[in-house]
Structure 1
Amino acid sequence: MNPFRIHVLGCGSALPTLQHYASSQVVEIREKLFMIDCGEGTQIQLRRSHIHFSKLLAVFISHLHGDHCFGLLGMISSFGMTGRTAPLHIYGPADLGAMLKQGLDYFCHGLEFDVVFHAVDTEQSAVIFEDKSLTVETIPLQHRVPCCGFLFREKPMLPHIRRDMIDFHHIPISQINNIKMGADWIDADGKIIPNARLTTPATPSRSYAYCSDTRYMSHLHRMISGVSTLYHESTYASDNEGRARLYYHSTSRQAAIVARDAHVGKLLLGHYSARYNDETRLLHEAQEVFPNSYLTKEGAVFDV
């Protein structure tokens, strides 16, 4: 099966600490790399994760708070110094466009690659990226500024053809794709071999939902129902639920409620408040509601 992995570059929140970097992840899917959020220090974490700068296709910025975007301009500048030539696509709230252009004009003269900005409507759920193997759609969230998450979905795969049936019926290689697309086979005697006997069901498609900074949304589970893996911010423990509501953040227990109600495969926690030297408490509170919960940490890699 082609890899579908999440590389965690940073999982802290706004206040810098010695434990965590600011928010950033890389989604690796079918040998393509996409970044979600780009907090300060992200390019250092790319180096530590041995992710080559030139392989990054696009960056998705969830919202315009510094711990999610301050690293973007510096990273682009470094890309220029390492000889990148392929276009870099940036997706983010509309206001990012003007700020990005001003920064590029001032600091990034002579880039040998195009930086292509795509304004995102954070209040609508829509497909904003698509190629032959996946789609990326927005997930409207509730934060103090316009904010959205991102949902990465594999497109449905083709069925598997049975090798024993290929050999038994002497099916030529040239016909394998036709059979995967649903065709029957007619053997040398004119007998029709139905497609269902020639194939086995396709591997189920995988999906990853990244829910950046947001207060608890009781309806969020409907937008991400059944995803393979969910990342949901979990800034606070339950005793700070009032603070979470005030600052439009979530507790780890609330993140677990979303995961449970959405029937996801597993839950990744992150965006920890600087008040916690040990996030074990956040994990335990989440696991009481949704046992298949995990703490993210810098350098961790999760299979979707």
Structure 2
Amino acid sequence: MFALHILGTSGSRPTATRSVSGNYLMTPHGGLVIDCGEGFQERLVRQDLRLKRSKTGKRAKASKVRAILLTHCHLDHCWGLIPFLHTMNLDGRTEPLTIIAPGAPDGSDSKPDFNDLFGAWREMIEDEYSRGRMGYEVNWVLIPIEDELPIESPFQPLEDLHLTAIPTKHGVVSVAWMISSNKRPERRLMVSGDTSRGVTSFKSDSIGGELDVLIHEATYSSETHELAEVWGHSTAEDAAEAAAVMGAKLLGMLHLSSRISDPSVLEEEARRHHNQSFVCEDGDIIEVSWGGEISVSRREGDAWTGLSIG
């Protein structure tokens, strides 16, 4: 039912083995991109080519993308957007595309914000479209974030699936994205974006039920929890505690600081609170079936093998 391709696991800047934020979610009714940091399109192309060579039947095609969901306006989460739109145009896309992001409410002086970025990006893309240089229309949807309560997206791009923005705590307007099925039994997946601990709505009763999968940032270890508090990020323990209170069956951690040389330290810390926890690697695929079975596959060269968690 869900196949989440983890295409960026580094926090703030790329490293030799980890790229900045970006995820591709394939569903029976099309694809969603969740965050789109620098170089996202290249990572998506490489993932799809490797899948094609693996002959598993899985793919990660840009042509299947129906909408792009952004968690916040920091560039490591959105700077790959415009190049990605441009390449889809060169590839002959004609189907409209919707981009959904959180924005400050009217009258707010919150800076920086997608209100500003969307204005500049929209002007550029619409100019290209009006000149006949853009083969598809881009719809820009800003969701005003006024409090800490979950918000239904005003635009629902995929049949039988529901998108919900959950305000988080990161110093700028930011949200987690929850993707849930309308079909029973309901399946739920959430990507946290960047956030510190203590998000009001990170509770199962606030989001309407327990999660199958939580993808949560874990920028720091508990040894540097002071930095997490200063910069609006989370530790592995924070992520695991969030997974526990939301009833997540599986926790995948990402957005690691370049200071983290041994990811197993984060896994050890997280598993004190949530046994089914692991640190994501670029290229991981997390699948959730309609029946609720969850599997994780890790890439080795052009092949993926099952990963045992816990």
Q: If the length of structure 1 is used for normalisation, what is the TM-score? A: 0.80
Alignment of 1:1-304 (within 5 A): 3-50=1-48, 51-94=60-103, 95=115, 96-104=117-125, 110-123=133-146, 124-128=149-153, 129-130=155-156, 131-157=158-184, 204-217=185-198, 219=200, 220-222=202-204, 223-224=206-207, 225-304=209-288
Give the superposition deviation at 1:29: 1.7
Cα distance in 1 for residues equivalent to 2:18 and 2:30: 26
Cα distance in 2 for residues equivalent to 1:67 and 1:107: 25
Residues 122 and 279 (structure 1), Cα distance of their counterparts in 2 relative to 1, 3 Å cut = farther
TM-superposition CA deviations, 1:76-105 (whole Å, max 9, x none): 011111101001100013414213224436
How many percent identity over aligned positions?
28
Cα distance in 1 for residues equivalent to 2:257 and 2:128: 32
Cα distance in 1 for residues equivalent to 2:229 and 2:46: 35
Partner of 1:160: none
Letter in 1 for 2:136: F
Cα distance in 1 for residues equivalent to 2:124 and 2:231: 29
Give the superposition deviation at 1:106: 7.3
Cα distance in 2 for residues equivalent to 1:45 and 1:283: 25
Q: Over alpha carbons, which structure has the higher Rg?
A: 1
Q: Which secondary structure does the structure 2 equivalent of 1:256 belong to?
A: helix
User: What is the RMSD of the two structures over their aligned residues, measured on CA atoms?
Assistant: 1.7
Q: Which runs of 5+ in 2 are unaligned?
A: 49-59, 104-114, 289-310
- Asked if the contact 1:77–1:107 (Cα under 8 Å) also holds between the matched residues in 2, the reply is no
Residues 106 and 15 (structure 1), Cα distance of their counterparts in 2 relative to 1, 3 Å cut = farther
Cα distance in 1 for residues equivalent to 2:88 and 2:216: 29
- Asked if the contact 2:169–2:199 (Cα under 8 Å) also holds between the matched residues in 1, the reply is no
- Asked if the contact 1:122–1:139 (Cα under 8 Å) also holds between the matched residues in 2, the reply is no
Residues 218 and 57 (structure 1), Cα distance of their counterparts in 2 relative to 1, 3 Å cut = closer
TM-superposition CA deviations, 1:90-132 (whole Å, max 9, x none): 0013414213224436778611000110011234522114354
Cα distance in 2 for residues equivalent to 1:15 and 1:53: 24
Letter in 2 for 1:214: T
Give the superposition deviation at 1:16: 2.4
Q: Which secondary structure does the structure 1 equivalent of 2:7 belong to?
A: strand
Cα distance in 2 for residues equivalent to 1:271 and 1:112: 34
Cα distance in 1 for residues equivalent to 2:61 and 2:194: 27
Q: Which secondary structure does the structure 2 equivalent of 1:137 belong to?
A: strand
- Asked if the contact 2:122–2:140 (Cα under 8 Å) also holds between the matched residues in 1, the reply is no
Partner of 2:292: none
Q: Which secondary structure does the structure 1 equivalent of 2:271 belong to?
A: helix
Q: Which secondary structure does the structure 1 equivalent of 2:76 belong to?
A: helix
Q: Which runs of 5+ in 1 are unaligned?
A: 158-203
Give the superposition deviation at 1:299: 0.8
Paired residue total: 256
Give the superposition deviation at 1:18: 1.2
